[in-house]
Amino acid sequence: MHDLFTEIWSSVRRNKLRTILTGLAVSWGIFIIILLLGAGNGLMNAFMKQSHDFATNTMELYGGLTTKPYDGLQQGRWVPLTEQDVKILQGPLFSDHIDEVSASVADGNNKLIEGTRTYTVTLYGVYPANKDMNGEKILAGRYINENDLNERRKVAVISDVQAEDLMGGRDNYKAILGRAITVDDQVFTVVGVRRSDRQWRDTRIHVPFSTYKLIFAYDDLVNKITFTFHGLRTQKENEAFEKRVRAVLNRAHRAAPDDEGALYVWNRFTQNMQMNRGTDILTKALWVVGIFTLLGGIVGVSNIMLITVKERTHEFGIRKAIGAKPKDITKLILAESITITALFGIFGMLLGLGACEVMNATIGSTSMDIFGESVKLLDNPRVGWGVAIEATIVLIVAGTIAGLSPATKAAKVRPIEALREGKG
Partner 1 sequence: MLIELKGIHKTYDNGQPLHVLKGIDLSIDNGEFVSIMGSSGSGKSTLLNILGILDNYDEGEYHLDGHLIKGLKEREAADYRNRTIGFVFQSFNLIPFKTAVENVELPLFYQGVSRTKRREAAMQLLDKLGLANWAKHYPNEMSGGQKQRVAIARALITHPRIILADEPTGALDSKTSVEVMDLLGQLNREEKVTIIVVTHESGVANCANKIVHIKDGLIGEIELNSQHHASTFDKNNIK
Q: Looking only at residues 210 through 249 of this chain, which bind partner 1 when binding is defined by CB under 8 A?
A: none
Site string for partner 1, 12-31 (x = CB under 8 A): --x-----------------
Task: Select 81 or 324, whichever has its Cβ closest to partner 1.
Answer: 324
Q: What is the residue type of 144?
A: I
Q: Binding segment for partner 1 among 78-86, 180-188, 206-214, 413-421 (CB under 8 A)?
A: 413-421
Phi, psi at residue 137, to the nearest 5°?
-105, 125
Which of 52, 111, 174, 414 contacts partner 1 by CB under 8 A? 414
In whole angstroms, how close is the CB of 305 to partner 1 at the nearest point?
17
Shortest Cβ 301–partner 1 spacing (Å): 21
Residue 47 CB contacts under 8 Å (≥ 6 apart), including other chains? none
CB closer to partner 1 out of 5 and 292: 5
The answer to whether the beta carbons of residues 424 and 314 sit under 8 Å apart is: yes
Identity of the residue, 205 or 334, whose beta carbon is nearer to partner 1 in the bound complex: 334
CB of 424 to partner 1, least distance (A): 5
- CA–CA separation, 260 and 262 (whole Å): 6
CB of 328 to partner 1, least distance (A): 6
CA geometry: angle 212, 213, 216, nearest 5 deg:
75
Residue type at position 55: A
Q: Which is nearer to partner 1, 131 or 319 (CB)?
A: 319
Tell me if 422 contacts partner 1 by CB under 8 A.
yes
Distance CA 9, CA 11 (A): 5
| Candidates 8-16, 124-132, 281-289, 388-396; binding stretch for partner 1 (CB under 8 A) | 8-16
Question: Which is nearer to partner 1, 233 or 325 (by Cβ)?
Answer: 325
As a dihedral over the C-alpha atoms of residue 368, residue 373, residue 378, residue 379, rounded to 10 degrees, the angle is 130
312-341 footprint of partner 1 as x/- string (CB under 8 A): --xx--xxxxxxxxxxx-------------
> Residue type for 65, please?
L
Three-state DSSP state, 277: helix
Nearest CB to partner 1, comparing residues 2 and 117: 2
> Rounded to an integer, what distance in angstroms lies between the CA atom of residue 334 and that of residue 320?
17
Alpha-carbon distance values, 287 to 165, 216, 337 (Å): 47, 56, 22
Q: For the purposes of burial, counting CB atoms within 10 Å of the CB of 215, is it exposed (0-12), middle (13-18) or buried (19 or more)?
A: middle
Q: 137 vs 414, which CB is nearer to partner 1?
A: 414
If the CB atoms of residues 246 and 331 are measured against partner 1, the closer one turns out to be: 331
- Closest approach of Cβ 422 to partner 1, in Å? 8
Residue 321 C-beta: closest distance to partner 1, Å: 5
Contact 265, 59 (CB under 8 A): yes
| Binding track over 150-169 against partner 1, x by CB under 8 A | --------------------
Q: Which is nearer to partner 1, 112 or 335 (CB)?
A: 335
* Cα dihedral across residues 336, 341, 344, 346: positive or negative: negative
- State which residue, 358 or 416, has the beta carbon closest to partner 1: 416
Beta carbon nearer to partner 1, 178 or 424: 424
Strands 186-194 and 138-141 come out as antiparallel
Task: List Cα–Cα distances, 5 to 74, 136, 255, 339, 392, in angstroms.
Answer: 83, 58, 77, 9, 19
- Least spacing, CB of residue 307 vs partner 1, in Å: 16
Q: How far is the CB of 334 from partner 1 (least distance, A)?
A: 17
The one-letter code for the residue type at 312 is R
Q: Is 262 helix (H, G, I), strand (E, B) or coil?
A: coil
Q: How far is the CB of 278 from partner 1 (least distance, A)?
A: 53
Across the strands, what pairs with 58?
228
- Interactions with partner 1, residue window 258-317 (CB under 8 A): 314-315
* Phi and psi, residue 2, nearest 5°: -60, -45
CB-CB neighbours of 132 under 10 Å: 15
Q: How many chain residues interact with partner 1 (CB under 8 A)?
A: 27
Q: Which residues contribute to the site for partner 1 (CB under 8 A)? A: 2-3, 10-11, 14, 314-315, 318-328, 414-416, 418-419, 421-424
